[in-house]
Structure 1
Amino acid sequence: MTKVLVLYYSSYGHIETMAQAVADGARQVDGADVTLKRVPELVPEEVRKNSGYKTDQAGEVLQDVNELENYDAIIVGTPTRFGNMTSQMRNLWDQTGGLWGNGKLIGKVGSAFTSTASQHGGQETTLTSIHTTLLHHGMVIVGVPYSHPGLTNMEEISGGTPYGASTLAGADGSRQPSENELDIARYQGQHVAEIARKLKG
């Protein structure tokens, strides 16, 4: 059994939707056991309500960072904050010093996906900044190969990069992930699960 964790943070549901697509793709791989979890929220409840955050989300909250060592692949999803991961996601990874010190994630597969408000809002820097953290843990980084035709789709405005799947939420958050973006996310999940299965042998 290849254990895959899709670990995400989502304020308004865009990354949650992408996470579910990534998980669906990973589930297409024989022997893949896929878990969907989200990181703890740091924003006070009153602020979340006043800001319209989506509080009813599919993934249960990851309570203990040490759980990360139980997976063969970890696919990280987060919106961008000034070209980097959100503070909620950063906070979780900042607690993994023990895992790092004991080499618990070395050789496991790492991957990332993201969302931005605008077409050039930091998608690729966010993804590569996540990769940097995963590389410090000794993980094997997997992106989205250009064998997926959605990466070169010029018929519409669309997210999707070789560094990981992505979506455009719009300045007011009204745009939802497109079918092309979701298809890339599913492909990423499947590709990561396949690589993890091969590495596990």
Structure 2
Amino acid sequence: MSKAKIAVISYSLWGHVAELAKEAAEGARATGADVTEYQIAETFSPEVLVKMKADKSLTKDLPVLNAQDLKNFDGLVFAFPTRFGRAPAQVSALFDRTGGLWASGSLLGKHVTMITSAGTQHGGVETTALTTFPFFVHHGMIYVPIGFQFPELSEISEITGISPYNAATVAGGNNSRRPTEKELRVSKAQGTYFAEIVGQFVRGKI
């Protein structure tokens, strides 16, 4: 039986998104999927990263994604923070390098989902999904949201970044808040759910 091939692709400045992405990758692997983790190329200089107190420890050893790599997978999990309610420049730079893939229809019909984070509770975790949809739509990809299947989305005992669009976290204005147990749990569950959906599609094609 053919395994679903899934890429978990992260851009993370302070490690919040990287933590969630690691959980999603683990959840996807639990289904038997073939999972490869990547990082998105950095555009900030090392000097700027030091001044920003960036934490790349969770992604530094991951291979940097080449846009052409995207066509090799059945499912894509993009994990990146919000920047003013949209994808950061590093992610947009990757998207801008997919023109050839668009022209050849190489991403048509592939499944995709997202994980994100914001500095505040209303800082853009949902709008980042919405403002990234045009990229998915232009490539003809199929977005897989998580809906309200997980009880954590309906609990109001604590602040979380989770939405029916995807798992997410709230990092805090000074990035001091780490992903909570609930946010990590939903991220792992999202990885499992996504891999199951992609797996059904792959098996149906055989």
- The within-5 A match list for 1:33-112 is 33-58=34-59, 60-112=62-114
Q: Which amino acid aligns with 2:41?
A: P
Structure 1 stretches of 4+ moved >4 Å: none
SS in 1 for 2:197: helix
The residue aligned with 2:197 is: 195
In structure 1, the gaps of 5 or more residues are: none
2:56 partner amino acid? T
Look up the match of 1:167. Answer: 169
Spell out the pairing of 1:125-144 with structure 2 (5 A cutoff): 125-144=127-146
Cα distance in 1 for partners of 2:133, 2:195 equals 17
The SS at the match of 2:8 is strand
Q: Does the residue aligned with 2:81 lie in a helix, a strand or coil? A: strand
Q: Which residue type is aligned with residue 162 of structure 2?
A: G
* 1:63 Cα deviation after fit: 4.3
Contact 1:29–1:193 (CA under 8 A) maintained in structure 2: yes
Shift, 1:188, TM fit = 0.9
Report the Cα offset of residue 95 of structure 1. 0.2
Matched residue, 2:125: 123
C-alpha separation in 2, matches of 1:24 and 1:132: 28
- Matched residue of 1:81: which SS? coil
Structure with more strand by fraction: 1
Which amino acid counterpart does residue 44 of structure 2 have in structure 1? V
Secondary structure at 1:181's aligned position in 2? helix
TM-score by length of 1: 0.96
Is the Cα contact below 8 Å between 2:37 and 2:63 reproduced in 1? no
Q: Which whole-Å CA distance do the structure 2 matches of 1:94 and 1:17 have between them? A: 26
How far did residue 159 of structure 1 move?
1.3
- Counterparts of 1:140-159 in structure 2, within 5 Å, are 140-159=142-161
Between the aligned partners of 1:27 and 1:129, the Cα distance in structure 2 is 29
Aligned partners of 1:102 and 1:62: how far apart in 2? Answer: 23
TM-score, normalising length: structure 2: 0.94
Task: State the 1:158 CA deviation.
Answer: 0.9
- Contact 1:111 1:131 (8 Å CA) reproduced: no
Q: Aligned-residue CA RMSD in angstroms? A: 1.1
Aligned length: 200
Q: Distance in 2 between matches of 1:52 and 1:168?
A: 18
